[in-house]
Structure 1
Amino acid sequence: MTAIIEQTKEKYGIENWGAGYFSINRKGHLVVHPSENDPYGADLKEIIDDLKKRGIHPPILLRFPQLIVSQIRRLQRAFKNSIKEYEYEGRHLCVYPMKVNQNRAVVEEYLREGSKYDFGLEAGSKAELYAALAMEQSDESLLVLNGFKDEEFIQLAFTGARVGKRVVIVIEKLSELETTLKLANELKRKNPAAPLPMLGIRVKLYSKGSGKWEKSGGEAAKFGLTTTEILEVIKRLSDADRTDMLRLLHFHIGSQLTDIKRIKSAMREAARVYAKIRQMGLPIEYLDVGGGMAVDYDGSKTSFESSANYNAQEFANDVIYLIKNICDDENVPHPTIIQESGRYMTAYHAMLIVNVQDEIETVVEDFTSPVVVTEDDPEVIKELYDLRESINAKNYQEYYHDALENREELFTMFNLGLISLEDRGKGEVLFWDICERADYFAQKKKYVSEEFDELRRLLCAKYLANFSVFRSVPDNWALEQLFPIVPIHKLNKRPTEYATLCDITCDSDGIIEKFVDLHDVKRVLELHELEKGEPYYLGIMLIGAYQEVMGNNHNLFGFPHEAHIHIDEEGYIIKKVLHGSTLSEMLVQAKYDVPSLQETFRRNVERRVKDGEISQKEANELIELYERKASSYTYLLPNCQVGKL
């Protein structure tokens, strides 16, 4: 590998956040590998070029199901090692929370691999449960039901038990228990031999999580039963002679848990609750430790909210060790540990490839602005001119501060009517020239102050990328969650531009201006200069968890095109292509009747023919165009003729 490629890997942190799944080839293209450090890989630029030949243009969601398989194996291997090392007497199982990504291809790929280890599913709504009931699971896997439930939800759960599913209804509130007991009694009266679903209880732990979802845990959490409520559940089950149904204890202290100390605290508390309930004579055999196993999005391996200060093996070691020690101390059997780490299993497998459509210039482009200053110009203009001509590596900070003061004076004088619009324009050009020169000198220093970091952000270009933040990375907009963003080509060339990203929605929030960095959050991203006639592609990585299912239809931008890729020793195979949303599909979602729109448009055009405003031939062309565009992609057509807006 060339020195430039090695520098590029470090610049974008590919080896830090990539978990061994990503590399750069000699062409300078980003490569995806099916497993950690696998010698085989797929060139992302070649995949996009191949799809373009089929008429599929960015934005494109690329799905690599093999990475789901690899993450499952990595997780299973970690717990297998821990169970052996600590002589744990229970099992480790997973259930995949469908809310993380309900996409059929994702769930089916998870089950194909997970069923080998008796991994099951978790559903939190009636729709998810309905789908799960038809999914093929192994005989020993669980179907865990979380969330708030009405009688219809619980009836579906009973249906699952009747057809052989190992269903666990997790009680979130006491009314759910009453409904479950009522339905159990009704079923047993009709058919005493009918199997019943198992019951679980969700405990509201005192321990809290860490990171953006910290409020999911603790005493003020939305879900879970207090100690008093748990004791009431046990009493009611005992009164109903149904204690044999209670088989699982569940807790969840939040998603993307960044700090292993918080996880260990929760494990200790939950294991103690399990042991005490077991000592009461109840047949609980499963301890569901919930989800929250974090993905290291920025690669820093810290407790920062977009990272994690632990890996899969450390997580498994702590879970197994702590639960075993407490169970041994309390003299109760080791439970089967259930884990709901959907983010960890799915985040890596999907990425969005976007084309940069244009560049939006925000300030004067270079230092040589054609500004002519004369003796007749206002004094403030002369001072700005002198600052621009005299700024250097020794005085840039002082002169930058002087320029800020002069700009304030410039605007004040304009608002008072003391200078002309031309004077204001001339002053602005001079000011931004000074800023660019100050930035040039500041960036050469070993340490760049926060003040000049902010200046760099103001001066940077805005690259207009063909996607919707609200549709494809909603957590970036709503929670400032960081996702790695990297060019998928030109990685053998040094980036020369600093930019932030703007999406194509008509919304000022449709921007990405914080980027992953090993030591901090970057305010700008190093990118390559746009070349006319040449496409420039960026990959928004690690978006396989939550993003596509939580994205919205802002501006009626729909789902992007989607391609499923399989990697083997010969390269890659495009297994499936799903076309993105069309204009008509999005309009239907917004409750428009497309044929009615077309008929109204036709009448309006024909009225103008009647009034003599357009010819019949032109009318026919307009109507045909309007109707044809209903099947168009909601995103922009590729624009390789990149220029300034």
Structure 2
Amino acid sequence: MQDEQLQRVQAAYGVENWSAGYFEVGPEGTILVRPARGDSRSVDLKKIIDELIRDRKVQTPLLLRFPQILTNQLRILAHSYQRAMTEYGFQGTHFPVFPMKVNPRREVIEEFLRDSARCRVGLECGSKAELYAAVAQTQAEESLLICNGFKDAEFIELALLAVQSGKRVVVVVEKLSELRLIIQYAEQTGVVPWIGLRAKLYSRGSGKWAASGGDAAKFGLTTSEILDCVRLLKAHRLEGQLKLLHSHIGSQITDIKRVKNAIKEAARVYAKLRLMGSTIEYMDIGGGLGVDYDGSKTRSESSMNYGVQEFANDVIYTIKAVCDEEGVPHPNVVTESGRMMTAYHAVCITSIRDEIETFAEDVPEVQIDADDPQVISELKELCDHITGKNYVEYYHDAQEHKDSLHTQFNLGLISLEDRAKGEVLFWEICARALHHSEDERFPAEEFADLKKILAAKYLCNFSLFRSAPDSWAIRQLFPIVPIHRLNEPMTDYATLVDVTCDSDGKIDHFIDLRDDKETLEIHKWEPGQAYFLGIFLVGAYQEVMGSFHNLFGLPDEAHIAIDDAGRYHVTKIIAGSRIADMVSFARYDKGQLQDLYRQHLDARVEAGRLTREAADALAEEYVKAAQGVTYLSRTGL
């Protein structure tokens, strides 16, 4: 690939900025993926997709999962904290835990726990279902099982089952009533988990989840409630079970200054409790470690102005400074950095299936007849004589003529054919005006809006609400890049629409170093052409937050491993949802539906409107259709 084209690709998609070393543009114009940062091994995403479609009979949308990236991210996290502790002479130990809410898939959990002994990685759960799954997992003996969230008696009973199986369970108290419940079970059963207290910090985070901290936060105990908990534990002679102080000021913290302030406050609470005689040994700082989705390394909501090592350094240095000042032991530090641990490992691959026409394209040149209305003749005149000097004036004139065209049509003064001819001329004037505006150093703002209007709208085979729901729900930006043809010029600008029957099912904001873009540079697409786009960094929250809007189900999924020789292996294929799965999800009974359809056919047979042979064939087709995919597959017979 030529350097000039590579620079254009980098400017358009910023792969080097957001990929953290896992993805890059290869010499053949395809996206390469690496199992670890700085690894010399890489494989071609397009070749993986071609094999999966050709030999494994999968189709888009397709979720590619790279488990080695999960492991590498965990090691980066663990090594960053170990480096910081060594540098600052910190006496505690780092205990990473993975929050199951970020991605509860079994394959993800098991991949992290394979490294449990090496990194002491444990699990965090915030519901009974998550805890039920976590109880049975194999963890290193010294790793932790953190129980967050609001709890009832059944939650406590599950936690006690985990204690009795040998796990180091910490039940984090969110409300004073939860502590009373734990004490009640301890007195009845003699089984007592380690206890944590979640402090409601005054400090707030930054970004979309800033409200997770501060006085109005949903979770956490006030200072007086913390003291009540300490007194209650002492009254029941359970003060020795108080092992952990928890705090959390929100996910995806964009500004490192907010982190320092929160850690300083939490460390001070820890130190004061130790000075009161508490046996707390662990400080759980929660999550918050961000992911640089747009590659800008700024405080924008899709980025952060720090790296993993800087985050770890600031956490460890701040805790140590407070503890040394107060004269208390350094705590063990627990982190719940789930977004950082999982975001990079999953890529959603979609394909363009069609173009949504905004205006008439590829039509023959409009011919003007003597009896055409004046508004048509004037639009034709503007179209034929627009230049780089008059394009702004002619564009404004065309807008007035378009209004006149529609007014005359509504009054019945011109025909449908006249309206169509006038609209073709108007959009051609717009296209030519936009072309001339791009030669200007500082084009008028109205042409930026026109660029979005004229951008191609490509129908992509996926559901935004299933595969990238945060793009719709909170306007999260995800990197979107063609995974091939990057050695060819990008000649079109486009927005993407999904296959759902929802006007919100679209992506019209894209990453950029300076500002969000409303269009994506893309190659010219022709009907019937295979063209694949990757939606990257979807490994955190997107799978579990995704909905079944329109009963579009889970996509096909493939797990990819890269061996020492740099060859890729498809280690697992998981079929996506079928029609039968999704109608069952909506509480229809597949067998009952088939019986009802058969009854409709029988009625037509009895009425003489359908032969028995035809009815049997139709019934068979209906049964067969239940095993079809929910997304677009065939384009014809």
> Normalized against structure 2, the TM-score is what?
0.96
Q: How many residues align?
A: 634
| Letter in structure 1 aligned against 2:49 | I
Conserved 8 A contact 2:75-2:119: no
Deviation at 1:637, TM superposition (A): 0.7
Do structure 1's residue 436 and structure 2's residue 431 form an aligned pair?
A: yes
2:342 corresponds, among 339, 346, 349, to 346
Counterpart for residue 60 of structure 1:
62
CA distances 1:280-329 after superposition (whole Å, capped 9, x unpaired) = 11111111111011111111111111111111011011111111111111
Structure 2 distance, partners of 1:338, 1:449, is: 52
Deviation of 1:407 (Å): 2.5
* In the alignment, structure 1 residue 516 sits paired with structure 2 residue 511: yes
One-letter code aligned to 1:121: L
Amino acid at match of 1:550: M
Pairing of 1:93-492 with structure 2 (within 5 A): 93-188=95-190, 194=191, 196-365=192-361, 370-374=365-369, 376-492=371-487
Instruction: Give, in angstroms, the shift of residue 376 of structure 1.
Output: 4.6
What residue number does 1:10 align with? 11
Alpha-carbon distance between aligned partners in 1 of 2:418 and 2:546, rounded to the nearest angstrom: 46
Looking at structure 2, the residues matched to 21 and 572 of structure 1 have their Cα atoms a distance apart, in angstroms, of 15
- Other-structure match for 2:81: 79
Offset, 1:455: 0.9
Shift of 1:331: 1.1
- CA drift at 1:332: 1.1
CA distance, structure 1, for counterparts of residue 207 and residue 373 of structure 2: 53
- For the residues of structure 2 that align with 1:509 and 1:203, how far apart are their CA atoms? 39
Secondary structure at 1:177 match in 2: helix
SS at match of 1:438: helix
Name whichever of 478-487 and 609-618 sits farther off: 609-618
Deviation at 1:377, TM superposition (A): 4.2
8 Å Cα contact 1:362-1:462 kept in structure 2: yes
The residue aligned with 1:191 is: none
Secondary structure (helix, strand or coil) at the match of 1:552 reads coil
Query: Does the aligned pair in 1 maintain the 2:353–2:527 contact within 8 Å?
Result: no
- Where 2:101 maps in the other structure, the secondary structure is helix
Contact 1:95 1:339 in 2 (8 A): yes
Range with bigger deviation, 320-329 or 610-619:
610-619
Could you list the runs of 5+ residues in structure 1 that have no partner in the other structure?
Answer: 189-193
2:145 is paired with a residue of what secondary structure? strand
Partners of 1:37 and 1:427 lie apart in 2 by: 57
Question: Hey, what's the Cα distance between the residues in 1 that align with 2:479 and 2:534?
Answer: 8
Is residue 90–residue 335 contact of structure 1 (8 Å, CA) maintained in 2? Answer: yes
- TM-score of the aligned structures, taking structure 1 as reference length: 0.95
Instruction: Provide, for residues 610-644 of structure 1, a one-character-per-residue CA deviation record: whole Å limited to 9, x for no partner.
Output: 32323333222211111111111111115599xxx
Contact 1:251/1:290 (8 A) holds in 2: yes
Moved more, 578-587 or 443-452: 443-452
Partners of 2:227 and 2:211 lie apart in 1 by 25
Q: Is the 8 A contact 2:90 2:330 kept in 1?
A: yes
CA distance in 2, matches of 1:639, 1:483: 29
Q: Report the AA paired with residue 135 of structure 2.
A: L
1:360 maps to a residue whose letter is I
Residue 354 of structure 2 contacts residue 527 of structure 2 at CA under 8 Å; is this kept in 1? no
SS in 2 for 1:95: strand
Shift of 1:418: 4.3
Aligned equivalents of 1:449, 1:159: Cα separation in 2? 67
Q: What is the CA distance between 1:18 and its match in structure 2?
A: 0.6
CA shift in 2, pair 1:198/1:449, >3 Å: farther
The code of the aligned residue for 1:527 comes to I
In structure 2, C-alpha distance between the alignment counterparts of 1:399 and 1:240, rounded to whole Å = 84
Are the aligned partners of 1:535 and 1:640 in contact in 2 as well (CA < 8 Å)? no
Q: For 2:505, give the aligned amino acid.
A: G
Comparing 605-614 with 104-113, greater Cα deviation is found at 605-614
CA distance in structure 2 between the aligned counterparts of 1:314 and 1:576, rounded to whole angstroms: 36
The unaligned stretches of length 5 or more in structure 2 are: none
Distance across 2 between alignment mates of 1:582 and 1:310: 43
Match of 1:623 among 604, 619, 623: 619
